[in-house]
Amino acid sequence: MPKVIPNLTDEIIKQAKTILLEKGYENFHLRDVSVACGIALGTIYNYFPNKDELIMAVVGSNWDEINLNVESICAAQGLFYNKLEKIFQEMEQFVTTFHDILFKVKKIDRKNKQGCIDDIFLRLIELIRQFLVLEIKGGNIVIVNDISPEIVARFIVSNFAITAHKKILGFNDLMLIFRAIIIEVKKGQKSIL
């Protein structure tokens, strides 16, 4: 009788992440994942047709965790820019961990790979947009020149991604620019706009 492992997909992704981060893309093999999970190699193929599909599942799973963390950060009490810094740290960790790996993935057609990456960032943009709207409604921030929260969210996420990867600007440099666009209103202070 075959062995039944509860939540096998989650276990495969968990073990794959550990191995991927330890060994890197080039030395990542499905056989190692099957051994770590205590299952036959063929069982892995029932869930993931190739190494790159599994790696994209690892990336997606990690991104889901980051989205949950960002949701918690947005919902927490605190100053807007303190929350924004925590969001940046989450994104920086993701980019630092997975950027090079994403560009080595080959066995997913370019359109699907780009679609997956776009989906990752579009979800974060929507979370940031919702965060901005809540902060505006709560009287905590004002966005200058009637720039829409959607555009500001895209600006924040794209600059976070570039800064986290290229390190051309530091977080504090970005904050100088953001503070020219998003004005934080202190409690008891009236907006000047």
Helix (H, G, I), strand (E, B) or coil at 141: strand
If pLDDT is split at 50, 70 and 90, which confidence band does 192 have?
very low
Task: Say how far residue 186 (Cα) sits from the centre of its chain.
Answer: 29
Give the pLDDT of residue 4.
Answer: 66
Domain range summary for the chain, segments of one domain joined by +: 1-48, 51-184
Alpha-helical (H) ranges within the chain are: 8-23, 30-37, 41-47, 51-75, 80-104, 110-137, 149-166, 171-181
Count of positions (residues) in the chain: 193
pLDDT tens digit sequence for 28-39: 999 999 999 999
What's the mean per-residue pLDDT of the chain?
87
CATH topology of domain 51-184: Tetracycline Repressor; domain 2 (1.10.357)
Residue with the bigger pLDDT between 117 and 82: it is 82
Determine the Cα–Cα distance for residues 95 and 80; give it in Å rounded to an integer: 23
Q: Is the pLDDT of residue 191 over 50?
A: no
Candidates 118, 126, 117; CA nearest to 153 is 126
Confidence (pTM)? 0.83
Sign of CA dihedral 49, 50, 54, 60: negative
What is 1-48's CATH number?
A: 1.10.10.60
> Which amino acid does the sequence have at 173?
D
If pLDDT is split at 50, 70 and 90, which confidence band does 161 have?
confident
Helix (H, G, I), strand (E, B) or coil at 72: helix
In Å, the largest CA–CA distance within the chain is 72
Which helix (H) or strand (E) segment is 184 a member of?
strand 182-184
Determine the Cα–Cα distance for residues 31 and 39; give it in Å rounded to an integer: 9
Q: Point out the least confidently predicted range of 83-87, 113-117, 178-182.
A: 113-117
**Cβ burial 147-169 (10 Å sphere, 16+ → b, else e):** eebeebbbbbbebbbebbeeeee
Q: Is the pLDDT of residue 151 over 80?
A: yes
Q: Is the pLDDT of residue 173 over 70?
A: yes
